[in-house]
């Protein structure tokens, strides 16, 4: 993990690793300067007081805040995760959120992903695979350690392709075939009219010539990524299918998982729940996987936006209304003759 300077935003200060006080306290952590998923400062003081009451009830073994006991399956999955997790930061995250609303979709996502993985186990894949997860996405409100996206050893890495605060367009096929390379990136303004910033100003400066690896990021803080299902009318999956018909299938050891949940298109949930559920599914399969996320990462924070300077140093951060597409060069003959593994 590389050392990053402390973000100088006016956001609430993380104190889970330092001497900061609960919400409303005056002491600040010397370690971080942004909202943290572990901390009461991320919540309002009233919400934090309610949360503490619920924690006391939980310790006595009484009911969940909605008056209903946590489903046995969710408890089983959380126990399995804790028993197989070796990262202390992730263990803290799991324990803090074991009964929080953050993980309410864990069982549903586990069942959804299990259906896909069981089907893929019947195919001629090796034990090491690439999983390309396709969804709508955004970043918002608070930060979590990057390592929380790799909760168990069954996920070898999570790779992000979009810079922070950027919209993506049709990257799934290039990611899945390994044909998309950093030099194929094209940035543009997403506003159809009225944009006061020319396209060249949307091109990121000092853009890394590699993708954003969460394994390399380690315990660096990253924005909370939320994902939501694809819609029948958004054309995302149809575009992937069209490219597949035109240029060929993605091939062996590549597993495509589009987030398609009919009737639930309006729902959204943390990507960390997806990777936790997936790591548990993989734990009970013959696979270990690198997960590749094809989703927008535009900042949809309510209220104060995330610290752009910090995000720019973690990887890269775009100005508002920036889109990322690929160059037609990705489909050049030389590129098509290259190996199709995802890098």
How large is the average pLDDT for residues 308-315? 95
Distance of CA 215 to the CA centre of its chain: 13
- For residue 342, the model assigns a pLDDT of 54
Range name among 249-253, 279-283, 301-305, 314-318 with the lowest pLDDT average: 301-305
Q: What is the pTM of this model?
A: 0.80
Reference 265, options 287, 224, 237; nearest CA is 237
- For residue 336, the model assigns a pLDDT of 52
Rounded CA separation 285/121 (Å):
8
How large is the average pLDDT for residues 165-175? 95
* Strand residue runs (E) in 27-175: 128-134, 136-145, 155-160, 167-168
Contacts of 209 (CB under 8 A, 6+ apart): 182, 183
> Using 50, 70 and 90 to split pLDDT, how confident is the model at 19?
very low
Between the alpha carbon of residue 197 and those of residues 32, 163, 193, 297, 327, the distances in Å are: 32, 18, 11, 20, 21
- For residue 333, the model assigns a pLDDT of 55
Asked if 69 and 63 touch (Cβ cutoff 8 Å), the reply is yes
For residue 207, the SS3 value is: coil
Q: How many CA atoms lie within 13 A of 78 on its CB side?
A: 20
pLDDT tens track for 112-138: 999 999 999 999 999 999 999 999 999
- For residue 198, the model assigns a pLDDT of 65
Helix, strand, coil % in the chain, rounded to nearest 5? 35, 20, 45
* Strand residue runs (E) in 184-305: 185-189, 212-213, 221-228, 254-258, 269-270, 288-294
Range name among 16-25, 73-82, 173-182, 194-203 with the lowest pLDDT average: 16-25
Rounded CA separation 165/175 (Å):
19
Mean pLDDT estimate for the chain: 81
Q: How big is the CA angle at 91 (ends 33 and 113), to the nearest 5 degrees?
A: 105
Tokens encoding 172: 């799934």
pLDDT tens track for 176-222: 999 999 999 999 888 876 677 766 677 787 899 999 999 999 999 99
- For residue 202, the model assigns a pLDDT of 75
């Amino acid at each position: 993990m590389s050392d990053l300077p402390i973000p100088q935003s006016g956001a609430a200060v993380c104190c889970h690793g330092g001497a900061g006080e609960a919400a409303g306290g005056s002491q600040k952590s010397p370690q971080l300067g942004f909202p943290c998923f572990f901390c009461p400062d991320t919540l309002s003081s009233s919400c934090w007081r309610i949360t503490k009451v619920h924690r006391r009830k939980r310790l006595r073994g009484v009911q969940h805040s909605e008056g209903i006991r946590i489903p046995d399956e969710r408890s089983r999955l959380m126990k399995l995760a804790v028993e197989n997790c070796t990262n202390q930061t992730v263990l803290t995250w799991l324990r803090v959120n074991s009964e929080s609303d953050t993980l309410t979709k864990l069982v549903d996502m586990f069942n959804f992903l299990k259906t896909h993985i069981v089907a893929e186990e019947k195919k001629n894949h090796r034990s090491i695979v690439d999983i390309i997860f396709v969804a709508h996405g955004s970043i918002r409100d608070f930060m979590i350690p990057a390592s929380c996206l790799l909760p168990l050893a069954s996920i070898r890495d999570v790779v992000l392709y979009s810079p922070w605060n950027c919209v993506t367009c049709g990257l799934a096929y290039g990611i899945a075939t390994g044909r998309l390379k950093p030099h194929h990136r094209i940035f543009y303004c997403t506003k159809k009219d009225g944009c006061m910033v020319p396209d060249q100003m949307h091109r990121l400066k000092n853009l890394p010539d590699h993708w954003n690896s969460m394994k390399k990021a380690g315990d660096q803080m990253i924005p909370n990524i939320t994902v939501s299902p694809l819609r029948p009318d958004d054309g995302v999956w149809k575009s992937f299918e069209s490219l597949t018909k035109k240029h060929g299938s993605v091939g062996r050891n590549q597993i495509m998982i589009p987030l398609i949940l009919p009737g639930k298109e309006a729902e959204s949930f943390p990507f960390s729940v997806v990777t936790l559920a997936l790591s548990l599914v993989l734990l009970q399969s013959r696979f270990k996987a690198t997960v590749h996320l094809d989703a927008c990462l535009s900042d949809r924070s309510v209220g104060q936006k995330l610290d752009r300077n910090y995000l720019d140093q973690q990887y890269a951060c775009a100005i508002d209304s920036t889109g990322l597409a690929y160059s037609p060069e990705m489909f050049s003959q030389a590129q098509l003759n290259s190996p199709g593994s995802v890098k």
